[in-house]
C-alpha cells in the first residue's frame, strides 16, 4: 500500500514544527514532506507534484498560489491550520474542484474559557486583591 503524500508549506522553525505535528500524523500511512522556512514558490511547485494534500502555513507567510495549485497534479485537498482561508487562492482551487478546509470551531472552547476567566478576574477585582496581598494587607 502506498502512502498518501502530504506537503506542508509551514514556515515555522524545524524544532517548533516537528514538536507540534509529531503526534498528529500517522507516519505509517502518510508521507509528510515539509517545504520549510524560506522555500520559494518554485521549490514548493516541485514538492507538490504527486501530493494528495497541501497543508497551509499557520502563520500565513507562505501563500498557496494558483501556480502551486496547478503544479499539484494529484491534489485532492488543501487543509488550513487556521480558521481562515487568507493564504489560499480559492478561485484556483475552485476551478480545479479541490476542496479547501479550515479549522473552524477549534477556538470556540478556549475563547469561551478566556471570556469567563476575564469576567471573573474583573468581577472579583483580582488585580487589586493581588496588589493588596503583596503589600501585606
Contacts 24+ apart (CB under 8 A), 61-64: 61/11, 62/9, 62/10, 62/11, 62/35, 62/87, 63/87, 63/88, 63/89, 64/9, 64/88, 64/89
Is 128's pLDDT higher than 70? yes
Gap between the Cα atoms of 109 and 95, Å rounded: 35
pTM of the model: 0.76
Q: What is the pLDDT of residues 17-41, one digit of tens each?
A: 888 888 778 888 889 899 988 899 9
For residue 45 the three cell numbers come to: 511547485
pLDDT tens, residue by residue, 76-113: 999 998 888 889 999 999 999 999 999 887 777 888 89
CA distances from 135 to 37, 121, 127, 129, 131 (A): 48, 19, 12, 10, 6
Amino acid at each position: 500500500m502506498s502512502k498518501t503524500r502530504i506537503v506542508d508549506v509551514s514556515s515555522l522553525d524545524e524544532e517548533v514544527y516537528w514538536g507540534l505535528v509529531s503526534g498528529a500524523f500517522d507516519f505509517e500511512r502518510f508521507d509528510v514532506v515539509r517545504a520549510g522556512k524560506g522555500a520559494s514558490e518554485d521549490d514548493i511547485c516541485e514538492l507538490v507534484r504527486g501530493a494528495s494534500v497541501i497543508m497551509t502555513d499557520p502563520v500565513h507567510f507562505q501563500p498557496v498560489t494558483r501556480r502551486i495549485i496547478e503544479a499539484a497534479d494529484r491534489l485532492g485537498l488543501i487543509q488550513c491550520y487556521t480558521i481562515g482561508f487568507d493564504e489560499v487562492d480559492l478561485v484556483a482551487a475552485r476551478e480545479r474542484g479541490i476542496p479547501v478546509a479550515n479549522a473552524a470551531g477549534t477556538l470556540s472552547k478556549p475563547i469561551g474559557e478566556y471570556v469567563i476567566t476575564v469576567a471573573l478576574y474583573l468581577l472579583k477585582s483580582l488585580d487589586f486583591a493581588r496588589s493588596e496581598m503583596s503589600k501585606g494587607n
